[in-house]
Amino acid sequence: MALLEAKHLSHAFDYPLFNDLSFTLDGGQSMAIVGVSGCGKSTLLHICSTLLAPKGGEVYFEQIPLYGAKSRNALHVRREQFGIIFQSHYLFKGFTAKENIQLSALLAQTPLDEALCERLGIARVLHQKIGELSGGQQQRVSIARVLSKKPRVIFADEPTGNLDQGTAKEVMDVLFEYIKTHDAALMLVTHDLALAKQCDRVFGLEDLMLVER
């Protein structure tokens, strides 16, 4: 059974972004979406992760529709099953990095994963307030927070955008390992073609469709 399924999605703002777009994503699988700036990659990620209702079509998590008549499912799925890693990090500013991670671990009723923080290179900054962290450190705290929740599907929009090459590789290794060990799925948006190719499947968003490369 597909973990995530998009069926006949269409969306437009000032101009059409995609039309009748469908795909499935299974447990343990990763997919990358590439395409020119403004083609609608982030919009597609927002739609698939419960944040934006599409103009047409439907998204299913384990066959549960996220929109339409049963849209009250969306909040529950987002909270319990989805991990969302976007450039705006959604960290709580007044709290320390550790408190931010614990908060989601609390929601998932699992303890803070110290080894994960060590691997992500944030173990030594955990006591600092979010406002005192660098952009790349904040990014890694938000990734630690998302993974602490043990999501089934991870949505990542340029998750390594603020990071140097070495740190970026470590972060991606953590994400790829996570989906393999937890039978989770990863939907990744990136401009980095080399990174995209590390995913099981690579799609270009072009001519209003997803074209597999």
Ligand X SMILES: Nc1ncnc2c1ncn2[C@@H]1O[C@H](COP(=O)(O)OP(=O)(O)OP(=O)(O)O)[C@@H](O)[C@H]1O
Q: Which residues bind ligand X (CB under 6 A)?
A: 13, 17, 35, 37-43
End-to-end CA distance of the chain: 24
Cβ–Cβ under 8 Å, residues 186 and 175: yes
| Among ligand X, Mg ion, none, partner that 13 touches (CB below 5 to 8 angstroms by kind) | ligand X
Cβ–Cβ under 8 Å, residues 91 and 98: no
Q: Given the complex with Mg ion, which of 97 and 195 has the nearer CB atom?
A: 195
Ranked by CB distance to Mg ion, the top (closest) residue is: 42
Q: Given the complex with Mg ion, which of 30 and 42 has the nearer CB atom?
A: 42
* Residue 175 Cα distances to 56, 83, 143, angstroms: 31, 11, 9
| Among Mg ion, ligand X, none, partner that 39 touches (CB below 5 to 8 angstroms by kind) | ligand X
| Among Mg ion, ligand X, none, partner that 38 touches (CB below 5 to 8 angstroms by kind) | ligand X
Helix (H) or strand (E) holding 34: strand 30-34
Q: Applying CB under 5 A, which residues contact Mg ion?
A: 42
Shortest reach from residue 41's CB to Mg ion, in Å: 5
Shortest reach from residue 39's CB to Mg ion, in Å: 9
Where does residue 48 rank: exposed (0-12), middle (13-18), buried (19+ CB within 10 A)?
A: buried
| Among Mg ion, ligand X, none, partner that 17 touches (CB below 5 to 8 angstroms by kind) | ligand X
Q: Given the complex with Mg ion, which of 11 and 150 has the nearer CB atom?
A: 11
Which of 148, 133, 171, 145 minimizes the C-alpha distance to 124?
Answer: 133
Shortest reach from residue 37's CB to ligand X, in Å: 3
